[in-house]
Amino acid sequence: MNKHLYEIPAVIVIFYDLDWNDPLWSEKMIECASRVQSMRAALEDRHTRITVVLIQNTLSLPAGEDLLASERAIALCSSCELNAQSLFVLPHGDHLQGYAVRLENAFYEFCQNIYHNEAKHVKSHKEHLNKNTHQYLYVRHQFKMGMLYELKQDVHTAHKHYTHAYNNLLEIRIVDTNALEIRTVAGFLNYKLCRLMFALNLPRDAISQFKAHIDRFKNRMGFQELTFEHYAWLSKQYSVFGDIFDEAVKLGLPAVQTQHPGIYYQQAAQYAIMRKKSCQELCSSVIAYPHPDPLEGANQLEFYGQRPWRPGKVTAEPPDPQVESNGIHAIQFLEKQINHSNIIIALYGLAISQYKTYRCPRTRRHLVLQMADEYYNSKDYGKALTLFTHMLWDFRGERWWEILSQILDKALKCAYLTANVQDYVLLALEVLCSLVTTSLDEKRRVYENLNRILKKQIPYGDPKLPQDVLQNAIILWQPVFSSQPLNFSLDMANIITCVETKARFTKSTYEVDQNVTVEVYIRSTCPFPLTFTKVSVTVNTPEYSSEFAVTNWENVSLNFHSFEVKRFVIEFMADANDINKEIQIGAINILLGNQAECCLDLKYTALPDANDNHVELLHFKYTGNNKVDFANIRPLSSATIVPRDSKLNVECIHPQPALLGEWYEIKINITNDEQFSIKELKIELGLVEETADVEFSLKPAGQPQKLPLALGRTDYLDKKGKYSTNVFLVAHKLGKYQIQIKITYTLNSDKPVFSIKTENIVLPVVQPFEVTTKYLSMLMCEIEAFHVEEEFAVMNYVKCLSPWPIVIENTSFKFISPVKSVEENVTSQLTGKMFNEEEVGAELNLALCEKSLLQNINIGQYTIKWKRQNGYSTTTQVTMYGLTCEWMPVGLKMVAPAHGFVRTPMVLSYCLQNRSRQIIQLDVSVEASEAFMFSGYKQLNLSVSDNTEDVGIQQDQLRALIERSVPTHLYVMPQVKGEPVMQTVYAPKKMTVVN
């Protein structure tokens, strides 16, 4: 392998700078040939292919066109003894990458041909071999062909030859003298097979091959004195297969929890441990390296797996006993110098990372513990302590007390051997817990060591530890207690110790003038007495933290016996600045020891244990009536400071509901019903839900003010004193609005107390009235469209919707072009009228439209000035949208008296108007009626002169014009007495009569 991989190349490429038209062509050709010859001589008739690449600065012409290049290429090949296929040209131009790719493909093809020929050459030796006498050569030749085809990148053929080599190897009889060589070669072949199977996407076959390989060689140990060598080989097999598997996974092979590289790294670590144990058993008696050196020349052996003291011996002949013994002693001596722990820890590290990737947390924890044990065995106690403490967090959560107890025991030893005071006392408090299954004698020793540390004395070591280890630990402990007093702050959150605490507020809310009460419960599960120096509680607010010490007013001592529970009470006055804020129990602090020597500040959280998921099961445990039921105490870690219950009497006077758009007045009357006078009284008003639809002001129709609005203040108000103020608001949208009145003051007592009084007003806003409009013709009939320059009537109806009487102070109608009023003096017909709920008022306005439009016309603004009875005036504007306006070429108007008299003449005048730009001829006829006698034209033809626009006219339009312009009935009164007077009702205009 070394020869083909590192010494003999398949192709040698000589790059030479030479152009076809170089002036020094002959000299350079000789120099190039010299280089080729020297390289050929160095190869010593090897089958390596030599090629020459000419680097040229000018681009060559196409083949056959450049005669000079052809002649000189033939000459160069003849001089260098090369065939034409081994000469290449690399122009240094724009397409350099393309030329490089072509060269690469050509060289790749040369390499494949070389390795193929080499394999055929090796295969030709097979017919000269005898399987009975050349078993090793059969394996060697198949391995060599497999490697050559692998170099050729023919993976399938390489896999076939490696399989033949492996099967041939299995046919060799294994004895102690050749066991190492057979194992070594088998390892190489298995590696090649598994790697190629993964490359061929056959992972199941690779795993099966590896398992079968291990099963075949697992029990082929060889010399019993070198058992560790066999375990090292097994460990290496698993480790290498794990590397191959991991590489395949990185290339896209999917893996699962039951089959991934971590399993093989874990097994490699197990065999490495067996190797270490075997070395400790077999190599303990070897103290010197034998002379002469039996392993001399071990690195220059021709074949893998052979012993240096008997190279080349492949038969089962008995070796020289003395030489064999010296060789075994030399290997044992070298094995003894190896740091096996580093190998084991590295393999555990690889396995842990794999188990973490494939989400196997419990197996990962198990391996971390084994890694910690290995660190402990290698006397690296610091790293072992780090791993043990990390694993304690996981096993505390799962509450596996037996496992937790064993981990605590090892972690405590590591803390002692590293003189880590803080970790030692923390672990000691946990070991003394009743849930830990450590023996009572061991707990007593830990308890005594804890007391010795509190007195700044060196603790006793575990008598099971070796004396040299204990002596080194004592040396480390001595400088720890020679310094200043020791003070440690230990975070006890999520740590199960022999001291348990619970704290709670007695209720969830406290008024600002009440004492806040905190109950603290402490239970000791230590089998031995414990005495504390101080117990305090830290209370947190959003701005600051305060620490309150337990007062001894109940004469409760801080001495605790086993499973004793004591209750402590802390009281303090709430701060006025914390009103409407939450206060929390931040921590419970217990001091153990004294500050002059060694003091432990144990900090417990007041929050319930997140791991305590089944507290309700503790209800089934019997507890005597005279004991505090510690398990069933439910912590209450937060409370809210609320304002004191104010005695102010607040009266809000307002006639609800409010009307949309009016200035609504709210009167606020305050009476002091407190037992003391008050000072610094402030009144603020605002909305519970802020909105821009409501505006507030201190005056009606005044400038809107920002919220919160200060309504008033007074520096002093006597007992039973009164204070009044008012506020105005206007709502621009219907709905319900919640108004909050906040009154703040200070009680003028012995201890001034800040107080807050809040009143909420729910104010509904309703619509005061509803405006509807009808559009009528001059005959007082509803119309569907306006017509240009035809008068129409706008009838506005105002319907009162308010539960309170409404007074209409004035109304007005402002028309917008192209609509205009036809009345000169317009007076509101609703002025001064009062309307109750559901009453309706109407008024009429006359107008005409001057322009035709196809969409509804905005005819103007209808303004109503109104107020509720005894209220404030409010102006409401309503935008009036009319109808479309159509163009009519002819206008018709009838002028008639308001009424007639029986047998009395009266004049009916019909006025026709042409609005087009051409003369219109009309046939006019008047139908007779039995109730009337006619005088005048009943049928005539008219020509009406042009006026404005040129638009056609249809009969349907004329019929509609007559229906909306000419009344169908006329009131006739009885005949008057005396001489009737005929009034002039029409001034004749000039008309053209067409005969």
SS3 track for 40-56 = HHHHCCCCCEEEEEEEE
Smallest CA-to-CA distance from 452 within 418, 484, 416, 417 is with 416
C-beta of residue 652 within 8 angstroms of C-beta of residue 758: no
In sequence order, which residues have a C-beta less than 8 Å from that of residue 280 and are 6 or more positions away?
none
What is the rounded distance in angstroms from the CA atom of residue 995 to the CA atom of residue 942? Answer: 9
**The two three-digit tokens of residue 255, written as one number:** 């893996």
Strands lying side by side in the sheet with 11-17: 11-17, 49-56, 87-91
List Cα–Cα distances, 440 to 402, 428, 434, 437, 826, in angstroms.
15, 13, 10, 9, 111
Instruction: Quickly state the pLDDT bin for 1 (edges 50, 70, 90).
Output: low
pLDDT in tens, 628-656: 778 788 888 889 888 777 788 888 888 88
Task: Please give the pLDDT value at position 224.
Answer: 87
**DSSP label at residue 5:** I
Coil, helix or strand at residue 937: coil
Task: Please give the pLDDT value at position 660.
Answer: 86
What is the rounded distance in angstroms from the CA atom of residue 691 to the CA atom of residue 689? Answer: 6
- Percentage above 70 pLDDT, the chain: 90
What is the rounded distance in angstroms from the CA atom of residue 585 to the CA atom of residue 638? Answer: 6
Beta bridge partners of 754: 746
Task: Please give the pLDDT value at position 344.
Answer: 94
**The two three-digit tokens of residue 276, written as one number:** 């270490």
Question: Which of 92-101, 251-260, 417-426, 829-838 has the weakest average pLDDT?
Answer: 92-101
Please give the average per-residue pLDDT across 924-928, as a whole number. 75
pLDDT in tens, 287-346: 888 888 888 877 777 778 778 877 655 445 566 788 888 888 888 888 888 999 999 999
Instruction: Quickly state the pLDDT bin for 62 (edges 50, 70, 90).
Output: low
In DSSP notation, 132-195 reads TT-HHHHHHHHHHHHHHHHHTT-HHHHHHHHHHHHHHHHTSPP-TTTHHHHHHHHHHHHHHHHH
What is the rounded distance in angstroms from the CA atom of residue 466 to the CA atom of residue 379? Answer: 12
Smallest CA-to-CA distance from 90 within 57, 51, 68 is with 57
For 932, list phi and psi in degrees, rounded to 5. Answer: -130, 155
Checking if the pLDDT of 747 tops 50, the result is yes
Helix/strand/coil (H/E/C) assignment for every residue in 647-689: CCEEEEECCCCEECCCCEEEEEEEECCCCCCEEEEEEEEEECC
More confident residue, 101 or 930: 101
Smallest CA-to-CA distance from 557 within 533, 537, 538 is with 533
More confident residue, 618 or 176: 176
Task: Please give the pLDDT value at position 885.
Answer: 84
What is the rounded distance in angstroms from the CA atom of residue 918 to the CA atom of residue 325? Answer: 142
Checking if the pLDDT of 725 tops 50, the result is yes
Q: Beta strands 515-524 and 564-573: pairing type?
A: antiparallel
More confident residue, 299 or 597: 597
What is the rounded distance in angstroms from the CA atom of residue 289 to the CA atom of residue 292? Answer: 9
Query: Please, what is the angle between helix 135-151 and helix 155-170, to 10°?
Result: 160
pLDDT in tens, 440-468: 999 999 999 999 998 888 999 888 888 98
Please give the average per-residue pLDDT across 466-492, as a whole number. 87
Please give the average per-residue pLDDT across 85-114, as a whole number. 85
Smallest CA-to-CA distance from 659 within 456, 452, 873 is with 873
Coil, helix or strand at residue 350: helix
Please give the average per-residue pLDDT across 142-151, as a whole number. 87
Task: Please give the pLDDT value at position 440.
Answer: 92
| Tokens 């061991």 belong to residue | 442
Task: Please give the pLDDT value at position 618.
Answer: 44
Give residue 359's region: left, alpha or beta (phi > 0; psi -120 to 50). Answer: left
Task: Please give the pLDDT value at position 987.
Answer: 44
What is the rounded distance in angstroms from the CA atom of residue 786 to the CA atom of residue 855? Answer: 11
> Superfamily assignment of 499-612+623-642 in CATH?
Immunoglobulins (2.60.40.10)
Query: What percent of the residues of the chain are helix, what percent strand, and what percent coil, each to the nearest 5?
Result: 35, 30, 35
Please give the average per-residue pLDDT across 144-148, as a whole number. 87
Beta bridge partners of 531: 559
**The two three-digit tokens of residue 454, written as one number:** 């509190």
What is the rounded distance in angstroms from the CA atom of residue 708 to the CA atom of residue 696? Answer: 10
pTM, two decimal places: 0.65
In sequence order, which residues have a C-beta less than 8 Å from that of residue 115 and are 6 or more positions away?
10, 148, 149, 151, 152
Checking if the pLDDT of 105 tops 50, the result is yes
∠ CA 120-121-123, nearest 5°, is 60
Smallest CA-to-CA distance from 991 within 953, 942, 949, 948 is with 942
What is the rounded distance in angstroms from the CA atom of residue 964 to the CA atom of residue 290? Answer: 138
Task: Please give the pLDDT value at position 260.
Answer: 92
- Percentage above 90 pLDDT, the chain: 20
What is the rounded distance in angstroms from the CA atom of residue 652 to the CA atom of residue 350? Answer: 78
Task: Please give the pLDDT value at position 273.
Answer: 94
Coil, helix or strand at residue 469: helix
Task: Please give the pLDDT value at position 963.
Answer: 67
Instruction: Quickly state the pLDDT bin for 351 (edges 50, 70, 90).
Output: very high
C-beta of residue 714 within 8 angstroms of C-beta of residue 744: no
Task: Please give the pLDDT value at position 369.
Answer: 93
What is the rounded distance in angstroms from the CA atom of residue 545 to the CA atom of residue 557? Answer: 27
Coil, helix or strand at residue 382: helix
For 267, list phi and psi in degrees, rounded to 5. Answer: -65, -35
What is the rounded distance in angstroms from the CA atom of residue 109 to the CA atom of residue 854? Answer: 87
Task: Please give the pLDDT value at position 991.
Answer: 44
What is the rounded distance in angstroms from the CA atom of residue 638 to the CA atom of residue 615? Answer: 20
C-beta of residue 327 within 8 angstroms of C-beta of residue 307: yes
Smallest CA-to-CA distance from 186 within 225, 129, 123, 136 is with 136
What is the rounded distance in angstroms from the CA atom of residue 618 to the CA atom of residue 631? Answer: 7
The CATH number, out of the four listed (3.10.180.10, 2.60.40.10, 3.40.920.10, 3.40.1350.10), of the domain defined by the range 648-765: 2.60.40.10
Task: Please give the pLDDT value at position 980.
Answer: 56
List Cα–Cα distances, 345 to 230, 369, 385, in angstroms.
20, 11, 15
Task: Please give the pLDDT value at position 341.
Answer: 92
More confident residue, 201 or 941: 201
Checking if the pLDDT of 33 tops 70, the result is yes
Task: Please give the pLDDT value at position 365.
Answer: 92
Task: Please give the pLDDT value at position 343.
Answer: 93
Task: Please give the pLDDT value at position 444.
Answer: 93
**DSSP label at residue 253:** -
Measured from the Cβ of residue 333, the count of other Cβ atoms closer than 10 Å reads 16
Instruction: Quickly state the pLDDT bin for 986 (edges 50, 70, 90).
Output: very low
List Cα–Cα distances, 653 to 667, 689, 803, in angstroms.
5, 22, 17
> Superfamily assignment of 769-886 in CATH?
Immunoglobulins (2.60.40.10)
Please state, rounded to an integer, the average pLDDT across all residues of the chain: 83
What is the rounded distance in angstroms from the CA atom of residue 602 to the CA atom of residue 969? Answer: 108
